[in-house]
Structure 1
Amino acid sequence: MQGVFVSYRRQDSQSAAGRLSDHLRDHLAGAAIFRDVETIEPGADFVDAIDRALKSCAVLLAVIGPRWLSISDEEGHRRLDLADDYTRLEIATALRRKDVRVIPVLVEGAQMPAPEQLPADLAELARRNAVELSDKRWDYDVGQLVNTLRKLTGLPEPAPPPMPKPEPGAAPTRRRWWIGATIGILVLAAILADEEGVFDPDPFVPTPAAPDAYYPPPQTSGETTAPSAGLPMLSGMWHDTQGGRFELVQQGNQLYFQGAGPEGYVVGSARLEGYHGQGSHTLNGYLLQSAFVVSTDGSRIDVTVVDPANGQRHAAVLLRQ
């Protein structure tokens, strides 16, 4: 099991790097996260510390903000051109090591630098596939990065939480299913679809509903109704990237779902229109609305949840079990 080295410029992306490091510690338990301000002891040789850290790391994340290329020292020299620039030393050292994966991470709208903009020992960085972390999709973008880092560092997938036992006397149709972090999951679809010109935020208009509204699926013999032509089949168990689990029941173009997770208990329904859909649900009795996009192979649902009271959105991804 190996660690992750987070390289960044303090004058450029210190806040984003700190936020990223905190997220990695929360979701990569067991992997060492190296970030200079926290892990280098006072008086230690910085170059030696970098070399030692990289020997125990499988990945270096080069966090690049909008000023990463242009920041200069007090004499007006571009810091990246200085041989003793710490950021340059970190990345150049990692690029020379064949056992370290170097991943550019673009934050705050930064663009990937071209080879001619970089010193010779960093030119190879321009050929590395970059990851973009945007503010409006932060949780999803970092979640995708965490999945990659989990593989590179040899960390096992997190175990899903145990299914809760039904409460004594609870009606079978109201049993609690785990849906884990559903509020975050139901946000991404709208954001993605909006960028592709598919999602329309206007349908999110508050509709009257009882505070404890419940949407039970129709009683059946245990079989779900086959969907109409042109619709994906979504019935079954699903999970999110944070270990949550939930179940969907589909009848034609109508979906019903219910479950429970870190945010509380969720129950609702939605209507499919091809591979897109909209619906409403309650979280601990609080009414929310959602839109989602289903992947062409039916294995993934990108969802957006909107609070009709304030317009706040949350995004996440559901994956078929």
Structure 2
Amino acid sequence: MKSALFSPYTIKNVTLKNRIVMSPMCMYSSHNEDGMVEDWHFTHYVSRAVGQVGLIMVEATAVTPQGRISPQDLGIWSDEHIPGFKKLVSMMKAHGAKTSIQIAHAGRKATVEGDIVAPSAIAFSESYKKPKELTSSEIKEIIEAFGQGARRAKEAGFDIIEIHGAHGYLINEFLSPLSNKREDEYGGSPEKRYRFLHEVIKSVKEEWDGPLFVRISANDYTDGGLTPDDYVEYAKLMKEQGVDLIDVSSGAVVPASIDAFPGYQVGFSDKIRNQADIPTGAVGLITKAIQAEEILKNNRADLIFIARELLRDPYWPRTAAKELGVSIDAPKQYDRGWL
């Protein structure tokens, strides 16, 4: 059987050996609150490389201390973070995986000490702190921080960078009219709300010429919020800026009820891919190889992002290959027990 899931995929100068991507998932394991890579990260990520995942994406990594989702998040705001990432990248690549990092700022969903910031001074919910509205100069500082994060990711040797524009974090907050009530150049119209992301992409690309992904939340699931149709237009703008792939998730910019079922976000990926004419990644309760095959063979996405299933099964590529009846290479150390 010829498998779409186990076919290679090339983006710019980077070729993935299969279409399986380990989705970024926070590990909350930088226990000294300094954002440093620790032993857990080496164990966690490298085991998935041994398991034959094609592209491993390191969790949301903060470009400023203030931009951490939690005090235990990884950081890339200092050159001191580079050596740990460089070692992690080297270890993952030794097992044939390509490597990526998701650079992020949590905005009003940060749970760190001190002030948190957002486009507008509106709390995410009653259980979150009220953020401080960003000034124009503070916005410029964060945009520069994304660029410097990209520089450090390049120095660490990552193959791909993803900008986190989803799940209610800072970039998503600027994009959505539910969280952005500004009346300056960064709010008030779809074009102005996109400006922050536009400038972040520009800043990143000044430091980075490799493949660039952006994760989005394609549906706010709330009246007056953004819809997949809105993100088709935003995806066209991102493509014009040189973004190579849209990683299509959804929700979390405001509290909302979401009917989550297997593949519930795939339709958003399909729509954006085929209406904006840009490669996409599909994510969200994709657990079976046959699911992934259907998505790829029907041109609904180009890559399959696997999250929780890879927490349960670090060797999910092997599981998927057995389900599809295809043979994949084993780590030589595991030859005797791979089949």
Structure with the higher strand share, 1 or 2: 1
- Structure showing greater relative contact order (alpha-carbon pairs closer than 8 Å, 6 or more residues apart): 2
TM-score by length of 1: 0.28
**Between Structure 1 and Structure 2, whose CA radius of gyration is higher?**
1
TM-score by length of 2: 0.27
Structure with the higher helix share, 1 or 2: 2
